[in-house]
A and B are shown apart, each in its own frame.
Chain A
């Protein structure tokens, strides 16, 4: 079986973002960029499945401008066998990403498609569900445990839902999106970073894949969230209880 993993290049999770003065978006020039943490977890899971002998190949896919290849190289250094880069404008909407992925799935025929449950830049949490819908594949979103059964051709997935932990059984091929507690992604070692440089990356354009990129969403503006007013530091529990009772009236 082949596993395909979609990875996204985003502003590093530790960077404090700056909003552009013209409010057109968030500054990404001269800012540290990394692989979206949820995508790292998806890739780690794919590598683990391969290492357990249940998959033969892990293919990492990314979309966007040429610098997204850096993210793909990171994925190859973690252990993906090869990469696919679909050269496209930045800020593709999830529906476009899903349409491109569908074409790549038709070319590659993976038995499992893994994605992060959301990207930490736009926080959309849509792409996995959309590609599953387009393919007519079952979906296991927000996964915190994945167990594959090769014989029965099913995946058992624990999902972190509002009410607790839900367990689903999915027929393969399936789409799984990963939550934080699924695993601890590995670091790329120096020798593997060197090795990754010679791993193949295939390039496509959306036109070559016959996907029309259009957007039905326009960003009007990006602004700072309202700031909370500065609070007070109290000196004792008695004072706290008094404030909550007589000033805030919440107890």
Chain B
């Protein structure tokens, strides 16, 4: 077997989520060399490739596709790139993380290769048997892939945590090779153009990988009040999350939404304030280690998944927490 992992990089490093895909690949079969595919342009791409080659022991090869076409994560050129690399390398598996990057690109590439991908893998039962949530996580489906190579997966990074990496200084680490793009099929490339990315840089930890997440729901009532959640998050060194209702009401931007169609998180500690616990929200956070729920309504479904519940008014509880919680170390 052999695996191609589609990785994302930023600022000269592989994104943490992409390493989860490497961890998942490593658990597929014993003899399974992993090639990491990195694309982009400029020095940060090559920096990321160097770093990946020297610091991640599971990776046996780093493939670099250097072209302006990959400057932005557009599905059209990226899907063609995966097709090109697959046709050359004949991998048994192609894996990406099931974030907005992987989910956008991998199915398109799968269609070009005429295979069915498996979305949101949370567990691997055997070389071709995978477990994935369906119905917003209200059921788990075990599927067997019976098609030809490659078997294509997107994996949930929260289900494949990356162990602390011991830097192995073994000689002859993974090779870095450039992908020959001279035969890249240009059909449909250029039909989509990147205009801009608007995001808020808050300086807080990333929602997808934070150890503590503090989430607010509609009960916060306004964007102004939602700042209490942000203050509490700062005190705990936590990321801020929100329910769909809070995003729809305009309290916070969409990238903070936790749930079936937002982000899937599984931190050590998840604190939900004024969150009722709709199944779509629970789908995004119920794998958290410890769940705390604070809600006025003692019948709120969130209490059914909470380890610690507090029935009370968040406008009293949050200030008290801010006062009494120890400063983060």
Please give the residue numbers on chain A whose beta carbons come within 8 Å of chain B beta carbons, in ascending order: 11, 16-17, 19, 26, 93-95, 98, 117-118, 120-127, 129-134, 136-142, 144, 156, 159-171, 174, 179-181, 215-225, 228, 230-234, 236-238, 240-241, 243-245, 248, 250-251
Stretch of B58-66, B159-167, B188-196 lying at the A interface: B188-196
Among the listed A165, A222, A237, which residue makes an inter-chain contact with B140, where contact means beta carbons less than 8 Å apart?
Answer: A222
Min CB–CB distance A95 → chain B (angstroms): 5
Q: Is the CB of A164 within 8 A of B255?
A: yes
User: With A136-B187, A162-B100, A216-B147 in contact, is A244–B269 under 8 Å at CB?
Assistant: yes
In the bound complex, do residue B269 and residue A250 qualify as a contact, i.e. CB atoms below 8 Å apart? yes
**A-B pairs, 10 with minimum CB distance:** A216-B147, A164-B199, A130-B111, A138-B192, A133-B111, A129-B107, A126-B107, A133-B108, A138-B191, A167-B195
Known interface pairs A95-B116, A122-B134, A139-B76. Does A251 touch B144 (Cβ–Cβ under 8 Å)? no
Shortest Cβ distance from B267 into chain A, in angstroms?
A: 9
Binary interface encoding of chain B residues 197-212 relative to chain A, with 1 for a CB under 8 A from any of its CBs, else 0: 1111000000010001
Q: Is the CB of B111 within 8 A of A162?
A: no
B208 to A123, Cβ gap below 8 A? no
For A139, the chain B residues whose CB sits under 8 A away are: 75-76, 104, 108, 192
* Residues of chain B with a CB closer than 8 A to A251's CB: 212, 236, 269, 325-326
The contact string, 1 if C-beta is below 8 Å from chain A, for chain B 305-326, is: 1111111000001001100111
Q: Are B139 and A17 in contact (CB under 8 A)?
A: yes
Query: Cβ of B116 and Cβ of A169 under 8 Å apart?
Result: no
A123 in contact with B188 (CB, 8 Å): no
Q: B52 at interface (Cβ–Cβ under 8 A)?
A: no
Neighbour of B308 across the interface among A142, A174, A224, A243, CB < 8 A: A243
For A98, A120, A122, A130, which residue has the most chain B Cβ atoms within 10 angstroms?
Answer: A130
B180 touches A (CB below 8 Å): no
- Beta-carbon contacts of B166-191 to A below 8 Å, as 1s and 0s? 00000000000000000000011001
Q: Does B218 contact A (CB under 8 A)?
A: no
- Expressed in whole angstroms, the Cα–Cα distance for A11 and B192 within the complex equals 35
Rounded to whole angstroms, the CA-CA distance of A13 and B197 in the bound complex is: 32
CB distance from A37 to the nearest CB of B (A): 10
Q: Which residues in A have their C-beta under 8 angstroms from that of B14?
A: none
Give A179 to B114 CA distance when docked, in angstroms: 26
Once A164-B197, A219-B143 are accepted as A-B contacts, the answer to whether A141 and B192 lie under 8 Å apart by CB is: no
Stretch at the interface among B19-27, B43-51, B117-125: B117-125
Contacts of A250 in B (CB 8 A): 212, 268-269, 289-290
Contact A248 B303 (CB under 8 A): no
In whole angstroms, what is the CA distance A173 to B310 when docked?
53
* Chain B: CB-nearest residue to A144: B254
B108 touches A123 (CB 8 A): no
Which one of A125, A170, A219, A236 has the highest number of Cβ atoms from chain B below 10 Å of its Cβ? A125
B195 touches A168 (CB 8 A): yes
Taken together as a complex, chains A and B put the C-alpha atoms of A126 and B109 apart, in Å, by: 11
Known: A95-B111, A139-B75. A166 touches B196 (CB 8 A): yes
Asked if B309 and A233 sit within 8 Å, CB to CB, the answer is: yes
Tell me the minimal C-beta distance from B146 to chain A in angstroms: 5
Interface residues in B104-142 by Cβ distance below 8 A to A read 104-112, 114-120, 129, 133-142
> Which of B103, B143, B188, B247 sits near A181, CB closer than 8 Å?
B247
How far apart sit A171 and B188, CA to CA, in the bound complex (Å)? 10
Contact call A220/B269, Cβ cutoff below 8 A: no
| Complex contact A126–B119 (CB within 8 A) | yes
Instruction: Assess whether B195 is in contact with A215, with CB atoms less than 8 Å apart.
Output: no
Q: In the assembled complex, which residues on chain A have CB atoms less than 8 Å from the CB atom of B143?
A: 217-220
Q: Which of A133, A169, A215 contacts B112 (CB 8 A)?
A: A133
A231 surroundings in chain B (CB, below 8 A) = 291, 303, 305-309
CA distance A140 to B106 in the complex (A): 14
Pick from B145, B188, B268: contact of A136, CB below 8 A.
Answer: B188
In Å, the complex CA distance between A171 and B74 comes to 13
Q: A170: nearest residue on chain B (CB-CB)?
A: B192
Q: In the complex, how many angstroms separate the beta carbon of B204 from the nearest chain A beta carbon?
A: 14
Would A169 and B193 count as touching, CB distance under 8 A? yes
Judge whether B253 is part of the interface by a CB distance below 8 angstroms.
yes
